[in-house]
Structures are given as structure tokens and as C-alpha cells.
Structure 1
Amino acid sequence: MKKNFLPISINIADQKILIVGGGQDAFKKLKILQRFDAEVEVLALKVCDEIKNSGVKFYEVAYHKKYLKKYLMLYSCLNNDELDKQIVKDCNKAGVLVNIHDKPDLCQFVSPAIHKQGNITIAVASNGENVYESIRIRNLIKDKLQIN
């Protein structure tokens, strides 16, 4: 089934968001979410030092669906096809929005290329199909408007 994502802005301030996975992809996602005042937690068997030093709660345990109850959304940064598919099923059942890193076919939502300064946010989306083109266009807009 072809995905057709609606670009929206959602208030995630003080909302609980879970990142499953503890590597560099998870850390990059964490840095983005922290700019929007989300209450992010990380769950992974092994958590990188950057996440450990970021000030967020992290749990070095294996994923289990019992952890989903309190979250608005989940980002999986595992790069594990079998587990990612299970996470999608579990999130759908639990009513948790799910994003699987670099797998838009499995996602309920995708994140656009974002630039945020104060109350201005530039977001460019490509329906999850061309991330680098979204980033390029976001940067063109940011540069044209001279937003730092």
C-alpha cells in the first residue's frame, strides 16, 4: 500500500516519546525531539555515551510491548526488520504512533526536514521518499530567508 503522509505540526511539549535503539541514529532523533521540549526516553540493549550524557532517561533492556503504555509516539532506530515489524504491530494495538527509521512503508508518520528558530519552523517533506532532497530544499529556504 502506497503511503501518503499529511504534513502537520503536533504539540509534543511535555509528551512522552520513546526511542527504541541506542546508537547514533537514535541520538540524532533525540537531538531533534529535544528542540521541541518532548519528554524523551530511550530503550535499548546498549545505549551510546552521547545518549547517556544527554540528560534523558534511558533503560538498557530489550524491547517488550509492555513498555508502550505511557507514550504518545515511538521511534524505532534498531535497523532490525523482524523486530521493527513487531514494534509496528504492538504500537498499532496500543494506540502509539510509530516511526521506523528509514522505512517509511512501516511508518504511521514521518518527520520532515526541519529548521526551527524561535517560533518559526521550516519543514519540508517528501512523503518519506527523498530525505536528502527535503534537506536540500529546507536549506535553500532557510538561506533565502536568512534564518540562522
Structure 2
Amino acid sequence: MEKNELYPIFLKVSNLKILIVGGGNVGLEKLSFLLKSSPNAKVQMVATTFLGETLDLAEKHHVEITKSEYHKEYLAGKHMVVACTDKTNVNEQIYHDCRAQGILVNVADNPPFCDFYMGGIVTKGNVKIAISTNGKSPTVAKRLRQFFEDVIPDNIDDLVKNLNEYRKTFKGDFDEKVEALNEFTKSLVKKKKED
């Protein structure tokens, strides 16, 4: 069985500079996905043409639109890049340019040319769950996202906030706080099982 060796992290993309190269349907999908989860992301999009829907979304979220062909100069100062043009050779050039500069890159629908994948994300207030299929099936990630959106209660954020306040009342070191919270949350799970 193949192992998924990806390491999940949650990036503060409002502190990073992101470049999306491509203004078609895939570019719109990547931008929408990013902004749904992180509406204050700092994004520049580069393409010769853009869909009207992309331009509307970009204006709403202060995304920088650059009507141009790709040039590696656009990578200056960027932390992450998504390549999604309809030209395979351009996407692969973007990958090689990014790798040469140590910039994380995702070439849409081309897993060997990806340092990261944009998986499914479920957000309920402060709770965020990322789902990965190791780049094998975005459809499964989408279905799992829909499942978790349905089964995780909308008020889970209240629990998170209350536990945070409860945690603040503890004295002692980190291990003692973790142990106390573990004991407290065990009773919640136990009670649920008994119902």
C-alpha cells in the first residue's frame, strides 16, 4: 500500500505573497479555493486573459491582476506559486524557475510538479480540517469535505472558545494543562457514547 507522506500545515497566507499564473477556469478555481479559506490572502494573478468572474472576485478581495505572459521576474518576493495555464511547457517552466529560487510551487493537475497540493478544507469557525488524497483524487477530497461539513456541528466553535477560556484558568506547565484538558474532554466523549 502506498503511503501518503505529505506533511499538513496551516499557512497564514495573509502574511505570504502568492502568485497564480493562469486566468482561465482552473485559475478561477484555485483563486476561489484560496480566498474561501483565507479571504485576506495576498495574491497576484498573471495571465494574458481573465474570466469576468475572476476579475470580479479579484476586485472584491484586492487581488493584483497583471495582464501579461509569464516571466520569471514575477516570482520576485513570492513565497508560493500556482501554475495553471493551458500550456504544459509554460507550467513546467514555472516549476523549474520556482525550484531554482526555493519557492513552493503547485502545477495544477501535474502531481510530479508539485511541492504542495490544495486539498479539501472544512471550516467551522476556528476549527479547520484539511483533507488530502495525496494528489490522487480531488473528487474524493471534495466528497469527504462535504461529508465533514454535514456531520461537524456548526456550534463546534463555541466548544473551542469555551475550552480555550477553561484552559486559561489552569496553572502549571504545558503538560499539566494538556492532561487536564484531556480529562475534561474524555468526559464529553464518554457522555456522547452513553446517549
Q: TM-score, normalised by structure 2?
A: 0.70
Q: Relative to 1, partners in 2 of residues 1:147 and 1:78: Cα closer, same or farther, differing over 3 Å?
A: farther
Deviation per CA, 1:60-84, whole angstroms, max 9, x where unpaired?
1000111101111011111321111
Partner residue in 2 for 1:7: 8
Q: Is the 8 A contact 1:43 1:61 kept in 2?
A: yes
Q: TM-score, normalised by structure 1?
A: 0.90
Deviation per CA, 1:43-96, whole angstroms, max 9, x where unpaired?
001111122222121011000111101111011111321111111110011221
Q: Which has the higher strand share?
A: 1
SS at structure 2 position matched to 1:98? strand
Query: How many pairs were matched up?
Result: 147
Partner residue in 2 for 1:53: 56
Larger radius of gyration: 2
Partner residue in 2 for 1:140: 147
Q: Does 1:100 align with 2:139?
A: no
Query: Can you give the 5+ residue segments of structure 2 that lack an aligned partner in the other structure?
Result: 156-195
Q: Which has the higher helix share?
A: 2
Instruction: Specify which structure has the bigger relative contact order, considering alpha-carbon pairs within 8 angstroms and separated by 6 or more residues.
Output: 1
Deviation per CA, 1:4-30, whole angstroms, max 9, x where unpaired?
422222221232111000012111211
Q: Distance in 2 between matches of 1:116 and 1:79?
A: 31
Partner residue in 2 for 1:29: 30
Partner residue in 2 for 1:90: 97
Partner residue in 1 for 2:187: none
SS at structure 2 position matched to 1:40? strand
Q: Distance in 1 between matches of 2:144 and 2:107?
A: 23
For residue 64 of structure 1, what is the amino acid of its counterpart?
Answer: H
Query: Can you give the 5+ residue segments of structure 1 that lack an aligned partner in the other structure?
Result: none
SS at structure 1 position matched to 2:123? strand
Q: Distance in 2 between matches of 1:32 and 1:134?
A: 13
Q: Does 1:77 align with 2:76?
A: no
State the identity %: 33
Q: Is the 8 A contact 1:5 1:110 kept in 2?
A: no
